[in-house]
Amino acid sequence: MTDEELEKEIQKVKQMLADYLRLKDLLKPSEKEFERQIDILLERLSKLLQQRK
């Protein structure tokens, strides 16, 4: 993955996190499901950020 592709993917995951947080009230997920989705996205973001270094 090139640096440019990596940066695009990082921005994509950040946007997904922001969107999910904004839609929380509309989707009304259970607390467990909300935490699970956030954990998945944060883990994905963490892996991408590690690749950046």
- Backbone φ and ψ for 29, nearest 5 degrees, come out as -75, 160
| Domain positions in the chain | 7-48
pTM of structure: 0.88
> pLDDT digit string (tens) for 1-53?
899 999 999 999 999 999 999 999 999 999 999 999 999 999 999 999 999 87
Given CA atoms 14, 18, 23, 39 in this order, what sign does their dihedral have?
positive
Residues 6+ apart with CB under 8 A from 15: none
